[in-house]
Structure 1
């Protein structure tokens, strides 16, 4: 990416919350430019927390660019990347998307924008602690950090369903009776 796009009203943070305020006197490609302190349509009542120090609007507020953050720590994603913004003087790769790590930190996602066959995945295997052998047809219930739930029964090799992820994840796994109870409670 050669240009880090300015943030405009309607652009989104990595969490999905859109920028809900902009300075109507300053537009880029038909939409108002956002500014430091502009509100986000976010249930946490976040605002834009950063702006570029060299682009100051007459109201004294700075204009944020792609990758700068909200008060909740979410990176902003510009729809003007490589169109209108700040030149990427470093020439280093810039992430166009971000993911929330299992520790709750937003990190840049480089590489393919969508999952591919070579993307990381998680696959849990049930092993009998006494014999060391896989346990087939055992009920399982798995929770991912993003709240996703995976449930079912292990296959003949004791494997749970493969879970595709953008990065290594810490999963919470229940087996046997506990898993069966959780499966029933979720229905």
Structure 2
């Protein structure tokens, strides 16, 4: 069993490989269920889809969307495409780095070292409302440094509360 998931890699693969389903679709399904694609699924996935391990690994590492380790408790994705750039996203990115002490795209798939991770994306479909970002998958538009600070504070507080609840749940004595 993979140490970071409750399912064995072979079980994850069996759950998601279906006739006619592409490798990319299977990788998305696994990441949707677990939150990332554990590296231990590469070999069983290659067997199930009759692909080489190199082909599976190549697809997994080529697409920026896939991660092979758990995401940070607060993951901020900032659009850095042209429309957002024209509306000040680069100044916002500098503010975000200064505010969080993180750098963009550092640690993606190398594991996170704190509560927050900053990731660049290149279009969130909110060009008329730029700059745009997501925080843990929730979309925000017309983001200013002040709006970012407020959203970050709420997301960080929620992540810390969730972590505290998880710790409490795991350390409770049976009744």
Q: So what's the TM-score if we normalise by structure 2?
A: 0.28
Structure 1 or 2: larger strand share? Answer: 1
Q: So what's the TM-score if we normalise by structure 1?
A: 0.27
Structure 1 or 2: larger helix share? Answer: 2
